[in-house]
Amino acid sequence: MKFQVYRFEEVDSSNDVALQEARTGAEEGLVVWAQRQTRGRGQKNHSWESHSRSSLTFSVLFRPAQGEFSVLGRFTALGALAVAQAVQAKTGCVAQVKWPNDVLVNGKKICGVLAETDLQAGNTSAIVVGVGVNLLPGAFDANAAMNYPASDVFSETGFEEDTETFMWAILEEMQALRGLLPDDAFIQAWNSSLAFKGEIRRIRNHKGETGLFRLLGVHLDGSLLVEDTNGQQLLFQSAEVLPSSSSSV
């Protein structure tokens, strides 16, 4: 896959720009890089703004291959794993993926990923993977209400690099992981970077119900495999791992 980068000083949402380009026939590998994003989206309609120099915000256009249509849900993890691996390679610090789409360093969120699809005649013709990384202090509003503690790469690792170099490091990781996407090896890579694996955490399901569960890992279908307090194993297709005191088991 060859990347072609379009740089914008300011956009409402880099995902929106990439999706529009997809509808007009843009090729796979298009990268929409926004210096500032004013109406970006996170998971569950949360907003994700970005600021030049302190934030890295970009979206990548993928055209799924035939063998990838059964694993389209993995594209979100593709973005998150690419960021985690790039952070570790650059800083030497461990970065983990909080299922399904956030990247944590020292237990704090430094990145979110949002994958969105473009449907043509009822079929997925494109997937856009949006990535937002907090690189420096000031990348986010510290007073904003957040479900998870946020931070930035510099504050957690002491490492600083220009946004373009960091972006290319992530893109290179995406390229390498893309080859694993349809295989079990991708799930193995996901599990090796899974935050809170083996720990008991509070999890809120799609109904808003909260309980304590031990995280066992990511299932082959991309769902989260957990164990409840009675030892029964369950699969969550949609849920949120909440901040809580945890214990290894």
pLDDT in tens, 110-147: 999 999 998 765 677 999 999 999 999 988 766 555 66
pTM for the structure as a whole: 0.92
In our burial notation (b when 16+ CB lie closer than 10 A, e otherwise), range 152-172 reads bbbbbbeeeeebeebbebbbe
pLDDT in tens, 174-233: 999 999 999 999 999 999 999 999 999 999 999 999 999 999 999 999 999 999 999 999
Q: Domains (ranges, CATH) in the chain?
A: 4-192 (3.30.930.10), 200-241 (2.30.30)
Distance (Å, whole) CA 232 – CA 242: 20
Distance (Å, whole) CA 180 – CA 183: 5
Distance (Å, whole) CA 213 – CA 141: 31
Q: Model confidence at 248, in pLDDT bands (50, 70, 90)?
A: very low
Does position 50 have pLDDT exceeding 70, yes or no? no
* Predicted local confidence at residue 18, as pLDDT: 97
- Mean pLDDT, the chain, rounded, equals 90
Q: How far is CA 124 from CA 17, 63, 120, in A?
A: 17, 9, 6
